[in-house]
Amino acid sequence: MMLDEVLKANKNFVKDIEPKKMSHMPQKKLAIVTCMDTRLTGFLEPAMGIGRGDAKIIKNAGNTIVDRDVIRSLAAAVYALGVEEIMVVGHYDCGMANVDPEKINAAMMDRGVSPKTVEDLDLKEWIGAIDNEEENVVQNVKKIRGSPFIPSDVPVHGLIIDPYQGTLEVLVEDK
Ligand SMILES: [Zn+2]
């Protein structure tokens, strides 16, 4: 299991760590909503000039705002942690683009999820499947902008990153 490998890595890691106190307030007063895509790990941050302690990063499948969870985290970031700007950062070649709902439904039932439960699910909404990466970013920016919990003086931008080149493009610029 990976657990053993992780614990071994951690032993080595802590040897070189010099613990220092850091603020939990994001130094760049920024919150980012992005995809859980593995290729963005350790890549998105340097691509945006963000280091440890700089920003709140909220991740899920396809950076889809599926329910109140993301909004709640953003509200916490704004009202408790001093965030003054929000960026939704999608990416090209997303694993959640063009997901086949039939296949996922079948896989869930194979692994013991009851057909009734599968049937009751709005899979696309729930699992974060998306059709178009750019449109998805635009829609998510709208959802955040339209939330009564996010104050209008907090700009909400939409961007998209190329997960290979690292190039960032602005899709929605909030003034
Ligand atoms: Zn993705």
Mean pLDDT score, 45-57: 97
What's this model's pTM, rounded to 2 decimal places?
A: 0.92
**Six token digits for residue 45:** 């941050």
H or E segment to which residue 60 belongs: strand 55-60
Tens of pLDDT, residues 126-147: 777 788 999 999 999 999 999 9
Separation of alpha carbons 31 and 45, rounded Å: 12
DSSP secondary-structure letter at 130?
A: B
Tens of pLDDT, residues 52-105: 999 999 999 887 776 789 999 999 999 999 999 999 999 999 988 878 888 889
Known binding residue 160? Answer is no
Tell me, in angstroms, the distance from the centre of ligand 1 to residue 96's CA.
6
Q: How confident is the model at residue 11 (pLDDT cuts 50, 70, 90)?
A: very high
Pick the CATH number of 26-97+132-172 from 3.40.50.1000, 3.40.1050.10, 3.40.50.620, 3.30.460.10: 3.40.1050.10
What's residue 124's pLDDT?
A: 74
What's residue 129's pLDDT?
A: 78
H or E segment to which residue 75 belongs: helix 68-79
Tell me, in angstroms, the distance from the centre of ligand 1 to residue 155's CA.
23
- For 36-167, where are the E strands, in sequence order? 55-60, 85-91, 156-161
Q: What phi, psi does 44 have (nearest 5°)?
A: -60, -45
Among residues 172, 41, 166, the alpha carbon closest in space to that of 92 is found at 166
Residues around ligand 1, an ion, CB closer than 5 A: 35, 37, 94
Tell me, in angstroms, the distance from the centre of ligand 1 to residue 41's CA.
11
What's residue 66's pLDDT?
A: 60
Residues 6+ apart with CB under 8 A from 169: 159, 160, 161
Known binding residue 91? Answer is yes
DSSP secondary-structure letter at 91?
A: E
